[in-house]
Chain A
Amino acid sequence: MVKVIYIAADGTRTEIDAPEGESVMRVALANDVEGIVGECGGAMMCATCHCYVEPDWAGRTGERVSGEEDMLEGAASEVTQYSRLSCQIPLTGALDGLVVRLPEDQI
């Protein structure tokens, strides 16, 4: 299990212990974390799973995958260098304690 910390736009913090291999998006949905919609189910087609990886963690979550950049264009909230689609971040042991911030709007 690895710990993921979601910080909502209003500051609400949710800590979840999640199995490795799951995506940051799926874990949020499975645990009713407000602020991630994930409407396309991780097919990288909706951009409603947008998150900002806390700068300290950005190195460890890796590069955006091919196609992610284009899809992020479709995000409802501002896109920054720390923006990722959370469905494209699989949890690994190295991400234990990961902090992601959630945008104001997903749709």
Chain B
Amino acid sequence: MPLAPLDETITITQLIDDPYPIYRRLRAEAPVMRVASVKRTLLTKADLTRAVKDNPLLFSSNDPNTPMRPALRAHTLMRKDGPEHMAERMAMMPAFSPKRIQTDWAPLYEQLAQDYIARLPRGEVVDLFATLCGPLAARILAHILGIPEATDAEMQRWSQRIIDGAGNFGWKPELFALSDEANDEMDALFDRLAPQRIADADGTAYSVMLTAANPIPMSQIYANLKIAIGGGINEPRDALATVLFGLLDNPDQLAEVRAQEAWGKAFEEAIRWVAPIQVSSRLVTEDTELGGFDIPKGETVMTVQASANRDEDLYENGEEFFVFRDKNPHQAFGNGPHHCAGAHIARRTVGKIILPMLFDRFPDMRLVDRDLVAWKGFGFRGPINLPVILN
């Protein structure tokens, strides 16, 4: 079989600005395409991305040589497979279960959402992205992780620096210097809080990991917390901003969502439409074949779930935001062993608590101008501002 075709025209800047027209073309013309600028083989159809994620033996996450290692000063579960990945993940999972969220956390989250929403100014233009989506996501995460002593600003700064470091494929020293600084701050906080989280054991991720019958090593506990910080703020932030945009930009759908209380459905549609995590990489462990092309061992394939989520084989009008689809088997949370550990938290906090509360408090909220909302991102994507008027 031939090797996949090679594209030398697509640029990273194009992908960051608006990847969707490119993905639509790739789905139609070349669903398996080596893209020179990205140095990866991009997979843009849903069956391909799912098949890769579901087969961790052939398409491994285990790649200790990515910038994620220096960015977190650890080889983390995100980049491991099999029993090792399982042990580290399961150490943290009890804190993230729906039951825990419902029984332990829902009242606190409601309170937090209320507080943050109450602070928003009325009758003037406010950027919900900066004033609500980011800070509230940071606060909720700080609590569930068991580090509420960290401020919203710290959480968001650490998260961004981890992300920038983990994506630092150009290996620029400045970016690692920034992530190092964040690591020092996080380590100091974790050191300081550990005795207390052991003495007053609770359901937070940190406490659960520290007090487990067979705890994972301390270094991995820290790495897990950092992965959660790096992966647990921007995604719910972007999901919230995206669903708000989708609903405000489509008043008819908003009215129907309100009538049916279909907030959960609206959330699912938003993350299908613009998945906060757009792509993932997997290392090919054996010579294999995908979509009629040879894929040699050692190559890195990139599953583009952003594109899979608009695949014409699964969706009519996939490019549109439409809450009331018959089926929505999106891959925004991924598939396989690395399926998003925060899926339940995001669904419950954004879909069940924040959205209904926000529209209840501000029934006449409206976008200032849809064209003022800027979207950005190739690896991660969402609006980077959301100016609205609250009444």
Contact = CB atoms under 8 A, between A and B. Distances in A.
Contact of B339 (A46, A73, A75): A46
Contacts of A11: none
Interface string B235-256: 0000000000000000000000
B54 A41 contact: yes
Interface string B78-105: 0000000010011001101111000000
B344 A40 contact: no
Interface in B30-62: 50, 53-54, 56
Given A73-B99, A74-B96, A76-B344, A41 B90 contact: no
B339 A74 contact: no
A70 interface: yes
Interface stretch (B6-14, B107-115, B296-304, B329-337): B329-337
B94 A73 contact: yes
A51 B48 CA distance: 28
B343 interface: yes
A40 B54 CA distance: 8
A63 B124 CA distance: 60
B157 interface: no
Contacts of B337: 40, 43, 45
Bin chain B's interface residue count: 20 to 34
B336 A45 contact: yes
B93 A74 contact: yes
Determine the main DSSP class of B at the interface with A.
Answer: helix
A41 B336 contact: yes
A43 B347 contact: no
B97 A73 contact: yes
A86 B56 CA distance: 20
Interface in A37-78: 39-43, 45-46, 67, 70-71, 73-76
Contacts of B50: 41
A107 interface: yes
Contact of B335 (A41, A70, A71, A73): A41
Given A43-B337, A67-B90, A74 B54 contact: no
B97 A43 contact: no
A45 B339 contact: yes
Given A67-B86, A73-B99, A107-B344, A43 B54 contact: yes
Nearest to B89: A45
B82 to A, nearest CB: 11
B333 A74 contact: no
A40 B336 contact: yes
Nearest to B97: A74
Contacts of A73: 93-94, 97, 99
B92 to A, nearest CB: 12
Interface in A8-57: 32, 39-43, 45-46
Nearest to B264: A107
Interface in A93-107: 107
B336 A43 contact: yes
A75 B337 CA distance: 16
A45 B336 CA distance: 7
Contacts of A74: 93, 96-99, 344
A42 B50 CA distance: 12
Given A45-B339, A76-B344, A107-B344, 20 more contacts: A32-B327, A39-B335, A39-B339, A40-B334, A41-B50, A41-B53, A41-B54, A41-B335, A43-B337, A45-B89, A46-B333, A46-B339, A46-B343, A70-B93, A71-B93, A73-B94, A74-B97, A75-B98, A107-B264, A107-B343
Interface of A: 32, 39-43, 45-46, 67, 70-71, 73-76, 107
17 contacts: A32-B327, A40-B334, A40-B335, A41-B50, A41-B336, A42-B54, A45-B89, A46-B339, A70-B90, A70-B93, A71-B93, A73-B97, A74-B97, A74-B98, A75-B98, A76-B344, A107-B264
9 tightest A-B CB contacts, nearest first? A40-B339, A74-B97, A41-B54, A41-B335, A43-B337, A45-B339, A76-B98, A43-B336, A46-B339
